[in-house]
Amino acid sequence: MFTITATRKGNKEIMGKIYRYSIGYDIVRGFVKTAHRLFYRKVIVTGRENIPKDKPVIFAPNHQNALMDPLALVCTLPSQIVYLARADIFKSAINRPFLRFLKIIPVYRIRDGVENLGRNEKTFRQTIEILQHNTPLCLFPEARHTDKRTLLPLKKAVPRIAFQAEESGGLGKDLVIIPVGIYYSDYLEPQSILQINYGKPLQVSEFLASYRGNPQRAQLELRDALQAKLSPLMIDIRDAEHYELYETIRRLYRATMLKEENLSPHPWENHFRSDQLTIQKLEIAAKEDDSFLQLLTDKVQKYEGLKHEQKIKEDALEKKPLTPAQAFLTGAGFLLASPMIAFGWLHHALPHYLLKNHVNNKIEDSQMRSSFYFVLGMLAFSAMYVVELLTLGRLFPGWWKVHYLIAMPLSGVFTYRLIRSWKVFRNRLRLRFGLSKEKQKSLLDSRQEVISFCQKAFSAQKQ
């Protein structure tokens, strides 16, 4: 385990070697991985076979969800990865030892002060040492996160480190860059789907000849090659002007696209693929017909207006209308599950709503909210479980205390899912039994009009 404190030898500061294995790090990671797995409904990992075990690796993920993005790698890879992060989080002297314990080192940007840019040389030298010891390195090539499903223009930090590694230690012949696409079905809500796609390695050796001839040109070539490999691993909506329209159609057309491509709605990876295809076809349709996006926007606005007017959400419209028998049986199912719902709600409601309100009111950057909720919730719920075990746990004999402790977090997950399902069910009841036949038909017809309009444009592309 590396040391956190620094000692001095002559005039040189000798820092603990951050690339060394840390038992303490793995202990903390085990706790975080458990919370991470409970936080998401499902975590899907593809492409692990693309990661070499005997070569220095730089991971280069897209960045859309603050702390949850690095945690996606931390919790799905066995290696202890060293991260490069923006320098402003190191301003506090209290934070620095903790961040170093988490294997994070700073990168300085112009906004951190031009006078600090020279300090990056030390960081880059450190990255060479990390890679020389075959410890994986990770940095986000966009250099900032965004609140949209789009890939921002990449910076040159990854190519610069890769080529400096070759200059300093001859690592360029073996060094690979792994593009990583991270996808969230919902950025903000717990119990969403997380998918991590590890792409095929980008061989730095293929760019060394160009680098020796023209370093600046080679950095741009490597950056562009990384961008080209990273985009297909994520949902990349490049039309900023019509972003919301693409987002709406991506979900609205999903079931139709799955059928058209003969893809089963299970597993979830097919949903991701369906969304990518929908976006690609929207881009093609927009290029082929200048009026397509405007006509589609008009239809979507009409549909969204009807949904708002009738107070019906998309979750309810994605499913077939309820029959009276289905409504009765589903309601009975919720009634039977009510004791478990009550148990989970009583053990989690107060900290959940307090945290939600605090995070939503205090954190202006929406992409930071799930990160704050996750970290604060992990600490708050853990403390609550201990207190409840020491108090209410006394009512249970022997090993039943262990069962009680295990039941608390599981009941929280179960209850959260059921409450969300209840909200959808309630909306489906309103759609089926709370609206007149005319209003139901108007809403469903408007939805189908949007789908059919896209379907016609998309089918023309195959001819």
Based on the fold, state whether residues 285 and 138 are members of the same structural domain.
no
CA distance 389 to 401: 7
Residue at which a domain ends, from 233, 264, 287: 233
Both 249 and 334 in a single domain?
A: no
Q: Could you give the CA distance from residue 62 to residue 43 in angstroms, rounded to a whole number? A: 17
- In this structure, are 342 and 201 located in the same domain? no
- Mark whether 57 and 181 lie in a shared domain: yes
> How many other C-beta atoms lie within 10 A of the C-beta of residue 400?
12
Cα–Cα distance measured from residue 379 to residue 20, given in angstroms and rounded to the nearest whole number: 27
In this prediction, residue 267 carries a pLDDT of 87
Q: Domain of 159: which CATH number?
A: 3.40.1130.10
Distances (CA, A) of 388 to 2, 93, 363, 381, 436: 36, 35, 29, 10, 49
Residue 322: pLDDT over 60:
yes
Q: Are residues 47 and 127 part of one domain?
A: yes
Same domain for 248 and 152:
no
Q: Look-up: residue for tokens 């500061």?
A: 13
| Contact between 64 and 146 (Cβ < 8 Å) | yes
Summarize the confidence of residues 277-301 as an average pLDDT: 97
β-pair partners for 84:
105
- Percent of the chain scoring above 90 in pLDDT: 78
Task: Classify residue 258: in a domain, yes or no.
Answer: yes
| pLDDT per residue as tens digits for the range 448-461 | 999 999 999 999 88
Based on the domain organization, do 115 and 38 belong to the same domain?
yes
Q: Is residue 203 part of a domain?
A: yes
Range scoring the smallest mean pLDDT among 91-100, 239-248, 441-450: 91-100
> Does the residue 448 lie in any domain?
no
**Mean pLDDT computed over 108-112:** 71
* pLDDT at 165 > cutoff 90: no
- Residue 124: predicted pLDDT: 83
281 in the same domain as 206: no
Q: Burial letters for 156-193: b for 16+ Cβ neighbours within 10 Å, e otherwise?
A: ebbbbbbbbbbebeebbebbbbbbbbbbbbebeebeeb
- Would you give the distance in Å from CA 78 to the centre of its chain? 19
Task: Decide if pLDDT at 369 tops 90.
Answer: yes
Residue 446 within a domain: no
Residue 36 forms part of a structural domain: yes
Residue 457 lies in a domain: no
Note the pLDDT tens digit of each residue in 380-428: 999 999 999 999 999 999 999 999 999 999 999 999 999 999 999 999 9
In total, how many domains does the chain have? 3
Q: What is the mean pLDDT of residues 426-444?
A: 96
Higher per-residue pLDDT: 94 or 195? 195
Report the alpha-carbon distance of residue 428 to residue 164 in Å, rounded: 58
Six token digits for residue 357: 């309100």
Query: Which tokens sit at 303?
Result: 């549909």
Mean pLDDT of 246-263: 96
Beta-sheet pairing, 137-138 with 57-61: parallel
Q: Quick one: pLDDT at residue 340?
A: 93
In-domain check, residue 445 = no
Peptide bond into 321 cis (omega under 30): no
Task: Assess whether 399 and 254 both reside in one domain.
Answer: no
Per-residue pLDDT of 307-320, as tens digits, reads 999 999 999 999 99
In this structure, is residue 459 part of a structural domain? no
Q: For the CA atoms of the chain, what is the radius of gyration?
A: 25
Q: Do 247 and 157 share a structural domain?
A: no
| The pLDDT of residue 12 | 39
Extract long-range pairs of 277-283: CB within 8 Å, 24+ residues apart: 278/249, 278/250, 278/253, 278/254, 278/454, 279/235, 279/236, 279/237, 279/246, 279/250, 281/454, 281/457, 281/458, 281/461, 282/246, 282/249, 282/454, 283/238, 283/239
Domain carrying residue 366: 324-434
pLDDT grade for 96, boundaries at 50, 70 and 90: confident
Q: What mean pLDDT, rounded, does the chain reach?
A: 91
Domain end (from 312, 336, 362)? 312
Q: Using 50, 70 and 90 to split pLDDT, how confident is the model at 4?
A: very low
- 338 has pLDDT over 50: yes
**Domain co-membership, 384 together with 335:** yes
Calculate the alpha carbon distances from 369 to 146, 329, 375 in Å.
13, 37, 10
What pLDDT is recorded for position 114? Answer: 64
pTM listed for this prediction? 0.91
Using the predicted structure, report yes or no on whether residue 9 has a pLDDT greater than 50. Answer: no
Minimum mean pLDDT range among 20-24, 119-123, 245-249, 458-462: 119-123
Top pLDDT among 6 and 95 is at 95
User: What percent of the chain stands above pLDDT 70?
Assistant: 94
Question: Which range is least confidently modeled, 111-125, 336-350, 422-436?
Answer: 111-125
Q: Where a domain ends, among 206, 233, 260? A: 233
pLDDT in tens, 10-45: 333 334 589 999 999 999 999 999 999 999 999 999
Q: Do 149 and 25 share a structural domain?
A: yes
